[in-house]
Amino acid sequence: MIRTFFSTLVFAFLVSTASTAERPNVLLIMADDLGFSDLGCYGGEIETPNLDGLARDGLRFTQFYNTARCWPTRGALLTGYFAQQIRRDAVPGLPRGIRSGGGGKRPSWAKLLPAMLKPAGYRAYHSGKWHIDGMPLGNGFDRSYYLKDQGRFFYPKVHWEDDKKLPEVKKDAGYYATDAIADHAVKCLKEHAEKHFGKPFFHYLAFTAPHFPLHALPEDIARYRERYRTSWKKVRDARWERIQKIGIVTGKLSGVERDLGPPYHFPDALKKLGSGEVNRPLRWRELTVEQRDFQSSKMAIHAAMVDRMDQAIGRVLVQLRTMDAFDNTLIFFLSDNGSSAEIMVRTDGHDPNAPPGSGPSYLCLGPGWSTICNTPFRRHKTWVHEGGCATPLIAHWPKGIKVRGELRRDPAHVIDVVPTILELAGVKRSPVGAPKAPGHSLLPAFAKDGSLRREYLWWLHEGNRAIRVGDWKLVKAKDDPWELYNLREDRTETNNLVSSNPGKVKELEHAWTKRMDEFRKLASQNTKP
Cα 5 to Cα 2, 10, 13, distances in angstroms: 10, 9, 13
Q: For residue 114, which of 123, 105, 106 has the smallest C-alpha distance?
A: 123
- Strands (DSSP E) contained in 99-236 are 123-128, 143-147, 159-161, 164-165, 201-206
β 143-147/123-128 pair status: parallel
Q: Are 451 and 444 in contact (CB under 8 A)?
A: yes
| Burial category of 416 from C-beta neighbours within 10 Å (exposed 0-12, middle 13-18, buried 19 and up) | buried
Cα 66 to Cα 45, 54, 69, 133, distances in angstroms: 23, 21, 8, 19
CA 529, distance to chain mean position in Å, is 26
3-state secondary structure 246-279: HCCCCCCCCCCCCCCCCCCCCHHHHHHHCCCCCC
CB under 8 Å to 25, separation ≥6 — which residues? 200, 201, 202, 203, 325, 328, 329, 330
Q: Are 375 and 239 in contact (CB under 8 A)?
A: yes
Cα separation, 313 vs 182, whole angstroms: 7
Q: Are 348 and 360 in contact (CB under 8 A)?
A: yes
Q: Are 407 and 60 in contact (CB under 8 A)?
A: yes
Instruction: List per-residue pLDDT tens for the chain, 529 residues long.
Output: 333 333 434 444 344 334 444 899 999 999 999 999 999 999 999 999 999 999 999 999 999 999 999 999 999 999 999 999 999 999 999 998 899 999 999 999 999 999 999 999 999 999 999 999 999 999 999 999 999 999 999 999 999 999 999 999 999 999 999 999 999 999 999 999 999 999 999 999 999 999 999 999 999 999 999 999 999 999 999 999 999 999 999 999 999 999 999 999 999 999 999 999 999 999 999 999 999 999 999 999 999 999 999 999 999 999 999 999 999 999 999 999 999 999 999 999 999 999 999 999 999 999 999 999 999 999 999 999 999 999 999 999 999 999 999 999 999 999 999 999 999 999 988 666 789 999 999 999 999 999 999 999 999 999 999 999 999 999 999 999 999 999 999 999 999 999 999 999 999 999 999 999 999 999 998 554 3
Considering the domain delimited by 5-455, tell me its CATH architecture. 3-Layer(aba) Sandwich (3.40)
CB under 8 Å to 4, separation ≥6 — which residues? 444, 451
In this structure, how many other beta carbons lie within 10 angstroms of the beta carbon of residue 77? 28
Q: Are 373 and 38 in contact (CB under 8 A)?
A: yes
Q: Are 343 and 370 in contact (CB under 8 A)?
A: no
φ and ψ of 237, to 5 deg: -65, -40
Say what the alpha-carbon torsion angle 337, 31, 52, 178 is, to the nearest 10 degrees. 160
In this structure, how many other beta carbons lie within 10 angstroms of the beta carbon of residue 4? 13
pLDDT at residue 431, rounded to an integer? 65
Q: Considering Cα of 303, then 172, then 190, then 78, what sign does the dihedral take?
A: negative
Task: For residue 441, give the 3-state DSSP assignment.
Answer: coil
pLDDT at residue 525, rounded to an integer? 82
φ and ψ of 482, to 5 deg: -65, 145
Crossing angle of the two packed helices 366-373 and 232-246, in degrees rounded to 10: 20
CB under 8 Å to 192, separation ≥6 — which residues? 123, 125, 199, 201, 323
In this structure, how many other beta carbons lie within 10 angstroms of the beta carbon of residue 289? 8
Instruction: Specify the DSSP class assigned to residue 120.
Output: G
Cα 40 to Cα 35, 334, 421, distances in angstroms: 12, 14, 27
Instruction: Specify the DSSP class assigned to residue 416.
Output: G
